[in-house]
């Protein structure tokens, strides 16, 4: 450390760890303090619903950096510590125990927390949420001894947990008010692919219905649906979405609207205070409005940019949203940001689960997804980023190469 500048990063998440990395890569030679309320060093969450949950990968394999990274780059990693207050005017944070840490600039990377299901019986034993490494370990052990697993919520976490539980040999019912898994993101046509995928792999699907109550003496035993049906379950996994962890930001007076509102350089309404990852609602120059994206790639890349800009850089964050998922023998990548009203054009076979889907608005591609078709994502990014009108028939025509469309 050669200057008296200090960068404090709140949240030892992927975004937080990458912010520290980004600051050092930008040449920041001041003090870097990375504070996280978990006792683990920063780790990546995607494997928690897949390989780690199934016991195919050790928790240590999820770490963002190797053990020596933080010491090598003179980053003070404070795990198991809580930031209780952020004061943008006085330029300090207050840690548990009363410790004040002054800062020149700060990055808030507090992530998100699972949304809880508020129905009678939701406090029974045997009910799980999945967010942390500890959650994944406990859930994996519980699945191995469960007779019947009920997964409430067929979004990405719910769908991946249902798939992993089936691969582990569990009897699974998947419950969601939507007509298909992942409906909010993928819509009817592509959502149906995932409905058939789960059905073909033995998951009982209870769609177009919600949960009215969870029953049991001390431990959950039954799930009562809103249509009156009752399903036995000695293990319930709730995956009904997350909410950004904005309490610190609200108390600090930062502008908050579905996350901490930041500009395209990821700076909040308080000069010198940046935000990245699940907690950030960032202005996206391509789409022309704020986006809050809850995916690993966004946390990783936004973290790097926020850290670099907190160190003195001025780089706009303009990467397109990107995420991936693996369920059973289906692998997919998605790039962009579509609206439920966008039209879908498909090349390939939905029935064979080997295709590329384009979401477009009057011929302008807003998002694209490849399913069991590989080495095409860079072309898909180029097609989405171009923002040009294309004939929908050409999008669906396999004789028109992706390079031509890009």
DSSP per-residue letters across 260-298? EEE-TT-B-SSTTEEE-GGGEEEEETTTTEEE---SHHH
- Decide if domain 329-405 falls under CATH 3.30.1130.10: no
Q: What is the DSSP string of 163-179?
A: HHHHHTT--EEEEESSS
Give the tens place of pLDDT for each residue, 102-153: 999 999 999 999 999 999 999 999 999 999 999 999 999 999 999 999 999 9
Return the domain boundaries, the chain.
Answer: 6-112+243-310, 116-238, 329-405
Question: Which residue in 32, 5, 31 sits closest to 19, CA to CA?
Answer: 32
Among residues 368, 362, 366, the alpha carbon closest in space to that of 347 is found at 368
Give the CA angle between residues 173, 176, 178 to the nearest 5°: 140
pTM, to two decimals: 0.95
On the question of pLDDT at 1 being above 70, the answer is: no
For residue range 54-111, what is the model confidence (pLDDT) as tens digits?
999 999 999 999 989 999 999 999 999 999 999 999 999 999 999 999 999 999 999 9
Q: How far from the centroid of its chain's Cα atoms is residue 183's Cα? A: 16
Segment 317-323 shows an average pLDDT of 97
Spatial separation of the C-alpha atoms in residues 30 and 106, rounded to whole Å: 13
Pair 345, 324: CB distance under 8 Å? no
Using CA atoms, how far residue 368 sits from 112, 180, 387, 401, in Å, is 26, 19, 12, 15
Q: Which 3 state secondary structure label does DSSP give 374?
A: coil
- What residues contact residue 58 under an 8 Å CB cut-off, 6+ apart? 52
* Both structure tokens of 89: 């005017």
Pairwise CA distance, residues 37 & 44, whole Å = 15
Asked if residues 67 and 42 have their Cβ atoms less than 8 Å apart, the reply is no
Is 329-405 in the same CATH topology as 116-238? no
pLDDT at 340: 79
- Tens-digit pLDDT profile for residues 325-341: 999 999 999 999 998 78
Q: Does domain 6-112+243-310 have CATH number 1.10.260.40?
A: no
116-238, which class in CATH? alpha beta
pLDDT of residue 19: 98
């Amino acid at each position: 450390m050669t200057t008296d500048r200090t960068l404090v990063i709140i949240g030892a998440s992927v975004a937080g760890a990458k912010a520290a990395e980004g600051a050092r890569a930008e040449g920041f030679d001041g003090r870097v303090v990375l504070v996280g309320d978990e006792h683990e060093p920063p780790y990546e969450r995607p494997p928690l619903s897949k390989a780690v949950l199934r016991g195919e990968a050790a928790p240590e394999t999820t770490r963002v950096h190797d053990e020596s990274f933080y010491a090598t780059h003179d980053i003070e990693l404070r795990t198991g510590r809580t930031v209780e207050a952020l004061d943008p005017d006085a330029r300090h944070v207050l840690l548990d125990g009363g410790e004040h840490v002054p800062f020149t600039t700060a990055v808030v990377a507090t992530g998100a927390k699972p949304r809880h299901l508020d129905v009678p019986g939701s406090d029974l034993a045997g009910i799980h949420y999945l967010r942390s490494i500890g959650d994944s370990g406990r859930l994996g052990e519980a699945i191995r001894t469960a007779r019947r697993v009920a997964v409430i919520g067929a979004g990405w976490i719910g769908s991946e947990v249902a798939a992993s539980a089936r691969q582990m040999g569990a009897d699974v019912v998947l419950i969601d008010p939507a007509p298909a898994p992942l409906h909010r993101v993928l819509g009817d046509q592509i959502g149906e692919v995932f409905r058939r995928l789960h059905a073909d792999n033995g998951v009982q699907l209870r769609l177009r219905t919600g949960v009215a109550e969870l029953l049991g003496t001390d431990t959950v035993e039954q799930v009562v649906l809103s249509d009156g049906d009752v399903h036995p379950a000695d293990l319930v996994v709730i995956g009904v979405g997350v909410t950004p962890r904005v309490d610190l930001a609200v108390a600090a007076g930062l502008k908050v609207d579905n996350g901490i509102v930041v500009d395209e350089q990821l700076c909040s309404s308080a000069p010198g205070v940046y935000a990245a990852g699940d907690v950030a609602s960032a202005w996206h120059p391509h789409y022309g409005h704020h986006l809050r994206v809850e995916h690993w790639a966004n946390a990783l890349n936004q973290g790097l940019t926020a850290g670099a800009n907190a160190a003195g850089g001025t780089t706009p964050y303009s990467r397109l949203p990107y995420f991936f998922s693996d369920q059973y023998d289906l692998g997919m990548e998605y790039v962009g940001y579509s609206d439920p009203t966008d039209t879908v054009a498909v090349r390939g076979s939905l029935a064979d689960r080997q295709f590329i889907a384009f979401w477009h608005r009057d011929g302008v591609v807003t998002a694209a997804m490849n399913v069991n078709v590989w080495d095409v994502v860079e072309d898909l990014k180029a097609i989405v980023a171009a923002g040009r009108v294309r004939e929908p028939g050409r999008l669906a025509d396999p004789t028109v190469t992706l390079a031509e469309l890009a």
